[in-house]
């Protein structure tokens, strides 16, 4: 049954549907695993990361520029594979969003800041094509949150307005930006909390 007010449910991926693809915690684990110094890697990461997430460089180049300025006893493929291995879907959350969209007659789309390689791996592992009608990923569209244009593109693709849309993210700043753009925005801190917020919006969640 279609919901009277809302037509599209937009969600982030990392932190809502599964672990993050590339974040500070993952890099710290990677440093420990490969015995790397954050003081050496972090400055290079900050120089390259925006270009990587916006799709201007591939994951291979990012890794080589950031991690291999000095000779290593391991390959860039080993770093890539370790990174991929740390991505884990949260099946309960994915099933919840699948159920909510069906019960409320909503479309579901994903808006995410993720770079080349990591995205493709996670789309397969999390089975996101089966969950969402479409995905707006930073490295494909060369925009990244908090760019207003990435949310505008997502609305244009669905041909809906922000007032007809719900946006969910685990990062509070992105929730605030989406709210300022007219979305009904939900800060995801836990599945139980998101369920309660959805109920307060009149959505069926059980």
pLDDT at 2: 54
Summarize the confidence of residues 68-88 as an average pLDDT.
Answer: 96
Task: Give percent of the chain above pLDDT 70.
Answer: 99
**Top CATH class, 24-85:** mainly alpha
Residues 67, 42: Cα–Cα separation, whole Å: 9
Architecture in CATH for domain 8-19+89-200: 3-Layer(aba) Sandwich (3.40)
Give 122-166 pLDDT, tens digit per residue: 999 999 999 999 999 999 999 999 999 999 999 999 999 999 999
For residue 168, give the H/E element and its range: strand 165-169
φ, ψ at 183 (rounded to 5°): -70, 150
φ, ψ at 199 (rounded to 5°): -60, -40
pLDDT at 206: 87
Structure-token pair, residue 94? 């994915």
Under a CB-based contact definition with an 8 Å cutoff, are residues 157 and 151 in contact? no
Domain ranges of the chain: 8-19+89-200, 24-85
Give 14-44 pLDDT, tens digit per residue: 999 999 999 999 999 999 999 999 999 999 9
**pLDDT of 184 over the 70 cut:** yes
Residues 81, 126: Cα–Cα separation, whole Å: 16
Residues 95, 49: Cα–Cα separation, whole Å: 31
pLDDT at 4: 72
pLDDT at 144: 97
pTM above 0.85, yes or no: yes
Report the interhelical angle of 59-67 vs 76-85 (nearest 10°). 110
Count the neighbouring beta carbons within 10 Å of the beta carbon of residue 149: 12
Sheet of 134-137: strand order equals 134-137, 107-112, 8-11, 165-169, 184-187
Are the folds of 8-19+89-200 and 24-85 the same?
Answer: no
Average pLDDT, the chain: 96
pLDDT at 74: 97
Give 36-66 pLDDT, tens digit per residue: 999 999 999 999 999 999 999 999 999 999 9
**pLDDT of 3 over the 70 cut:** no
Of 27, 121, 114, 120, which is closest to residue 79 (Cα–Cα)? 27
Of 139, 145, 116, 130, which is closest to residue 15 (Cα–Cα)? 145
What sign does the CA torsion over 87, 93, 99, 100 have? negative
Residues 12, 48: Cα–Cα separation, whole Å: 22
């Amino acid at each position: 049954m279609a919901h009277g007010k809302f037509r599209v449910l937009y969600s982030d991926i990392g932190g809502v549907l599964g672990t993050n693809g590339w974040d500070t915690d993952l890099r710290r684990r990677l440093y420990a695993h490969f015995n790397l110094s954050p003081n050496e890697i972090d400055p290079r990461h900050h120089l390259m990361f925006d270009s990587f997430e916006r799709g201007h460089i591939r994951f291979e180049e990012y890794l080589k520029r950031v991690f291999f300025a000095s000779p290593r006893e391991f390959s860039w493929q080993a770093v890539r594979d370790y990174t991929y291995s740390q991505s884990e879907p949260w099946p309960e959350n994915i099933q919840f969003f699948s159920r909510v969209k069906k019960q409320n007659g909503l479309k579901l789309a994903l808006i995410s800041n993720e770079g080349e390689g990591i995205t493709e791996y996670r789309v397969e592992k999390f089975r996101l094509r089966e969950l969402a009608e479409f995905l707006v990923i930073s490295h494909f569209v060369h925009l990244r949150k908090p760019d207003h244009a990435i949310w505008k593109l997502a609305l244009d693709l669905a041909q809906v307005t922000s007032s007809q849309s719900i946006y969910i993210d685990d990062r509070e700043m992105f929730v605030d930006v989406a709210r300022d753009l007219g979305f009904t925005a939900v800060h995801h801190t836990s599945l139980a909390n998101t369920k309660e917020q959805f109920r307060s919006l009149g959505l069926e969640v059980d």
